[in-house]
Amino acid sequence: MTRTGAPAVLPWGRHYLAVRPDHFRVDYVINPFMDPADQPDPARALAQWQRMVATLEGLGARVEVLDQRPDAPDMVYAMNLGLGVLRPDGSAHAVLSHMRFPERRMETATARDWFARSRSTAYVGRDGVGAHFEAGDAFPFGDALVVGYGPRTDELGLKQLAVELGVRVRGFRITHPGMYHMDLAFNPLDGRRAMVCPDAFDEESAAALLALVPEPLVLSEAEALTFCANSVVVGRTVVMPACPDRVRAVLEGWGFEIVLVDVSEFHKGGGSIRCLTNPLDIVVGRDLPALPGGSVVLP
């Protein structure tokens, strides 16, 4: 417990994969933020990315860097390459993303080779066939993986994800076009707390997600669209692209420190700090009990 009586810190968030933005640009439109007429500045984007990495490393996190494919401008959003998990017995696994849009599917081949060097790999769907799953929709919280579905991840993919990892999966339907991934509307902070934007979900899912989090920091639509939930937590420090005043007051009242890092060039592609970083130290099987064949709970 901290001096404020806060729950234990997240048991993950100190080891990340990131993709150096050497070929980041906006070549197409697959979310409401993208406009090929509004291109990111390459030098500014690289400087912002380097500051983000330096900030994480300065907080004690380890960041591994993967080179970006020239034909994959969105590959810089490393969160969506795949969901890597560790078991208490030391074994490592990854469920690779099956991207909704073909413009991003070539990223999976590079991610597969990288993940396969250190862990076993599996798929929910592949090469445009089968259910889609994008790792930016999945987070551990409580006794389950919390997974958003709708715009990018298919509901049918949740069962396959549960089976591959042998864990409980709780699914929540996303309906907001601007919060098309779970990581734009949900962010675990510690064992009891998470940022949640109910406006991202249908009514039933929003109510179920709020009921799941003992102490939610409820975000308005306007607050969430600053990308404030698309942040990472290292211990008791939240590394954020923006922090509305009310959100800051709640976080600081809970004993968190806030570090702001400008990654606005990457907002032009529809992602922020969480999208740019993929946690590699998520443990399933301890906080998330292993289940025979996995199970799925929907609202």
Mean pLDDT, range 76-95, rounded to an integer: 92
pLDDT value of residue 293: 61
Which position among 93, 181, 197, 243 bears the catalytic label? 181
203-260 pLDDT, tens digit per residue, is: 999 999 999 999 999 999 999 999 999 999 999 999 999 999 999 999 999 999 999 9
Kindly tell me if the per-residue pLDDT of 294 is higher than 90.
Answer: no
Q: Any catalytic annotation for residue 275?
A: yes
pLDDT band at 284 (very low <50, low <70, confident <90, very high): confident
Strand order across the beta sheet in which 15-19 lies = 62-66, 15-19, 278-279
pLDDT value of residue 3: 44
24-42 pLDDT, tens digit per residue, is: 999 999 999 999 999 999 9
Please state, in angstroms and rounded to a whole number, the distance separating the CA atoms of residues 6 and 249. Answer: 15
AA letter at 272? S
pLDDT value of residue 166: 86
pLDDT value of residue 90: 81
Superfamily of domain 21-297 in the CATH hierarchy = L-arginine/glycine Amidinotransferase; Chain A (3.75.10.10)
142-175 pLDDT, tens digit per residue, is: 889 999 999 999 999 999 999 998 889 999 999 9
Strand order across the beta sheet in which 257-260 lies = 232-234, 237-240, 257-260
Phi, psi (degrees; rounded to nearest 5) at 190: -160, -160
Biggest CA pair distance of the chain: 51
Hey, how many other C-beta atoms are within 10 angstroms of the C-beta on 55?
19
pLDDT value of residue 5: 55
Domain boundaries, the chain: 21-297
- Structure token digits, residue 215: 């102490």
pLDDT value of residue 197: 98
Strand partners, 122: 95
Please state, in angstroms and rounded to a whole number, the distance separating the CA atoms of residues 251 and 257. Answer: 8
pLDDT band at 288 (very low <50, low <70, confident <90, very high): low
Which position among 197, 228, 243, 275 bears the catalytic label? 275
pLDDT band at 87 (very low <50, low <70, confident <90, very high): confident
Mean of the per-residue pLDDT values of the chain: 94
User: What is the DSSP secondary-structure string of the chain?
Assistant: --TT-PPPBPS--SEEEEE--TT----S-SSTT--TTSPPPHHHHHHHHHHHHHHHHHTT-EEEEEPPPTT-TTTT-GGGGEEEEE-TTS-EEEEE-B-SSGGGTHHHHHHHHHHHTTSEEEESSBTTBS--B-GGGEEEETTEEEEEESSSS-THHHHHHHHHHTBEEEEEEB--TT--SGGGTEEE-BSSEEEE-GGGB-HHHHHHHHHHSSEEEEPPHHHHTTTTTS-EEETTEEEES---HHHHHHHHHTT-EEEE---HHHHTTT--TTTT-EES--B-SSSS-B-TT-EEE--
Mean pLDDT, range 192-197, rounded to an integer: 97
Q: Any catalytic annotation for residue 23?
A: no
pLDDT value of residue 272: 98
Phi, psi (degrees; rounded to nearest 5) at 232: -125, 150
pLDDT value of residue 125: 93
Query: Comparing 212 with 90, which gets the higher pLDDT?
Result: 212
Strand partners, 146: 139, 170
171-192 pLDDT, tens digit per residue, is: 999 999 999 999 999 999 999 9
95-105 pLDDT, tens digit per residue, is: 999 999 999 99
Q: Percent of the chain having pLDDT more than 90?
A: 87
